[in-house]
């Protein structure tokens, strides 16, 4: 799931850059952020930058139980 999220986010970032469009990010239907191409970004960038990180090895949905896929 994390790898799918990462792939889709990177594709959106590529579209924002290539097409010079902005994208509004929503959470539960409410706008929370906007992605804009760097050419349209304000001149002064924040002192800190944020890096998108998705951990492909993270076990987001673990039940904590071990199981064997071929068990019957």
Closest CA to 12 of 55, 60, 4, 56: 4
Closest CA to 35 of 43, 19, 17, 23: 23
pLDDT in tens, the chain (72 residues): 778 888 888 999 999 989 999 999 999 899 999 998 886 556 655 656 666 555 666 665 666 777 676 766
Question: pLDDT value at position 5?
Answer: 84
Q: How far apart are CA 15 and CA 35, in angstroms?
A: 11
Question: pLDDT value at position 15?
Answer: 93
Q: What is the pTM of this model?
A: 0.49
Q: How far apart are CA 71 and CA 8, in angstroms?
A: 34
**Per-residue buried b or exposed e for 52-68, using 16+ beta carbons within 10 Å of the residue's own CB:** eeeeeeeeeeeeeeeee
């Amino acid at each position: 799931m994390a790898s799918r999220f990462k792939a889709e986010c990177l594709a959106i970032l590529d579209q924002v850059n290539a097409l010079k469009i902005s994208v509004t990010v929503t959470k539960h239907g409410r706008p929370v952020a906007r992605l804009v191409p760097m050419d349209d970004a304000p001149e002064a960038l924040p002192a800190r930058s944020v890096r998108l990180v998705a951990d492909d090895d993270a076990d987001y949905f673990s039940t904590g139980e071990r199981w064997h896929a071929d068990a019957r």
